[in-house]
Amino acid sequence: MSRLEVRKTYKLYIGGAFLRSESGRSYPVTGPDGDVLARPARASRKDLRDAVRAARQAFPGWSGATAYNRGQVLYRVAELMEGRRAQFVEELRRGGAKNAEREVGAAIDRWVWYAGWSDKVHHVLGTVNPVAGPYFNFTFPEPTGVVGVMAPEEPALLGLVSRLAPAVVSGNAVVVVASESKPLPAVTLTEVLATSDVPSGAINVLTGYKKELAPWLAGHMDVNAIDLTGAPEHLRSELEATAAANVKRVVRDGAAAQSPYAIAAFMEMKTVWHPMGA
């Protein structure tokens, strides 16, 4: 007896829950041959506001966790991605990726690499400053808060991980706008996040049209930093000007290669004075 295939519904990931857009909208995602692969949710500005609110609520708990614990949590994400490797490869191939196996392997390895930096980046970036006086002067990095990430269009999975992992590993809570043309691997990644130990709201993923969502993410007064690496080129100057309204930290062209300085881009340096002696 033949049966109908149960087709996957691609939803938004906000506050640890899988949601349809509040507007009920979706948009078509096509493969290289023009066939419609899926109709993921088309996020609205209200969905974006809900995601920022969820991120803000999650920030104290995630940033307050020990660096070692955050590293363990992100390593667990890599473990679960390894177990679903075939699914990621298939979705990348359907989207037209030329070397899907290699991209998935690189994305998993990048999670592991950044997870290893969680309890080391403070030692590399922090310092003891020489001062003239009977004081200790320490500088150390802290997470900046809620970070908005415009994920690159390509590579859909590796580009997303390369921008998301360094933002979240230091304790920031993140709102991601996934690749517009190839969002399916990002939605599958949210299923990994939901079954890992990443706290609800620490990572939120939206799908939809970047030209619609980017201005609201850049202008949101409760977003502390924004990564414009995947933003449409013709909108970048406008988005930077909008982000200046609350003095957001802006990353314009984040490196695709793994680097501890990608983590530093979303951290604030704090300096503390302490009297020396009794």
Residue 46: predicted pLDDT: 96
Residues of the chain with confidence (pLDDT) below 50: none
In CATH terms, 12-30+43-275 corresponds, of 2.40.340.10, 3.90.850.10, 3.20.20.70, 3.40.605.10, to: 3.40.605.10
Cα gap 193→240, rounded to integer Å? 30
Residue 257: predicted pLDDT: 67
* Distances from the Cα of 103 to the Cα of 62, 73, 231, angstroms: 28, 22, 21
Q: pTM here?
A: 0.92
The number of beta carbons lying within 10 Å of the beta carbon of residue 36 is 9
The number of beta carbons lying within 10 Å of the beta carbon of residue 169 is 27
Residue 256: predicted pLDDT: 60
Q: Which residue has the tokens 């002696």?
A: 277
Instruction: Kindly tell me the sign of the dihedral angle through the C-alpha atoms of 147, 152, 157, 158.
Output: negative
Residue 255: predicted pLDDT: 57
Cα gap 63→224, rounded to integer Å? 14
Residue 222: predicted pLDDT: 96
Spell out the alpha helix ranges (H) of 118-209.
121-125, 156-168, 184-194
Q: What is the pLDDT of residues 63-96, one digit of tens each?
A: 999 999 999 999 999 999 999 999 999 999 999 8
Cα gap 164→175, rounded to integer Å? 9
